[in-house]
Amino acid sequence: MTIKTVQTLNPTAENPWVVSVNQLKEWDKCHAQFYYKTVLKQRWLSDERNFELGKAVHALMDLHAKGLPTEHLRVGLKPNILAHFDALLEHPLAKAPVVTSEYAFYLPFSVEGFPHITLTGRIDRISLYNGSLAIIDWKTGTAVPHDYATAWQTRLYSYAIWHMRDALPLPKGEGTAEIHFYYVDVRTNRQPAVKVYDVTIDAVYIAETEGLLKQVLARILAEKRFALPSACPDKYCRFSQVCGINPETTAQLPLFSLPQASVLGQRVSDEANPLDLF
C-alpha cells in the first residue's frame, strides 16, 4: 500500500536537498513519514516542554565549552537540570580540551545524476581526548541507539568530520590521526549516572558509510510512490491520522509547513533560545 504523492524530491543548485540524520532515520522507519516531513515539509506542532531538559543541559554545556560563567544561572535552574549538568561536568570527556562546541556542518555530497546534495548536522562538542579527536554527543533523554556503532548519527557526523577535520580550529601541532565518536548518556536516577559508548572511526568505516549513503539517497531520489509499512512503527506519529494506515481514523487534519507555522501568535522556530527555559 502506498500513499498518493503530489511531488517528489528533485534537488537543484538553487534548491539542494539538505540531508539530516532525522531524515535518514525517518526513511528507515517509515517511507510515508519521510514523505510528509521531508518531501512536503509538513510538521505537527509539538509540546516544547518535552525537550526542556535536553535543551537546557545542552545550552549549559555549550557555555561551559566556551569558558563562559554558569554560576549565576544556578539559582534559577530546576533541580533535574542542575543534577544532569553537574553529572556531566564530572566526567573526563567534559574536562578534555575543547576544539569547538555546537558545531554546525554543511558538507557537499552527490549521487549519480544528483550533484546538489548537502549533508548537515550539529555536533554537541569536539574535543581532544586520549590523543584522538573526540566527536561527542550528550544524551540527556533520548536513548543511545541500540545499534550505536552503525546508527545514522554516528555515521553522518563521523563522515563529515573525517572530511572536514583540516578546517577545525585545532591547537598548533595537534594531530588528528585517530577519531572516536562518543555517546555520553546521563541519567541521574541510576549509578553510574554517566555511561559512555565509544566508536572508533577509521578509513574503512568512512568508506562503508559513503557507500551506504550513496545507496540509500539514490533509492530515495528514485522513489515515486512512498510505501506504507504493514503496521505503524511509531505510536506517536500524528501522520497516522492522515496517511491511510488506519482507515478508521484517517481525516484531513491541519498540518503546518515550517517555517510559517505558528501557534498562539508565536512563530514556531527551531532556533529558539534554550536559555529561555530557565
Q: For the purposes of burial, counting CB atoms within 10 Å of the CB of 47, is it exposed (0-12), middle (13-18) or buried (19 or more)?
A: exposed
Q: Residue 263's pLDDT is what?
A: 31
- Supply the DSSP symbol for 245: S
Walk along the chain (278 residues) in steps of 10 and give the mean pLDDT of each run.
76 96 96 92 82 96 97 93 97 97 97 97 97 96 94 98 92 77 97 97 97 98 88 86 72 46 32 38
Q: 17-270: which CATH number, 3.30.420, 1.20.1260, 1.10.3470, 3.90.320?
A: 3.90.320
Number of C-alpha atoms within 13 angstroms, CB side, residue 36? 22
How many residues belong to the chain? 278
Residue keyed to cell 577509521: 202
Q: Residue 261's pLDDT is what?
A: 35
Q: Residue 120's pLDDT is what?
A: 98
Q: Which three cell numbers stand for residue 6?
A: 503530489
Instruction: Give the span between the Cα atoms of 44 and 242, in whole angstroms.
Output: 12
CA 243 to chain centre: 25
Q: Residue 258's pLDDT is what?
A: 44
Picking from 60, 197, 16, 168, the residue whose alpha carbon sits closest to that of residue 105 is 168
Q: Residue 277's pLDDT is what?
A: 35
Q: For the purposes of burial, counting CB atoms within 10 Å of the CB of 68, is it exposed (0-12), middle (13-18) or buried (19 or more)?
A: exposed
> What are the C-alpha distances in Å from 126 to residues 62, 100, 121, 123, 201?
11, 5, 13, 7, 14
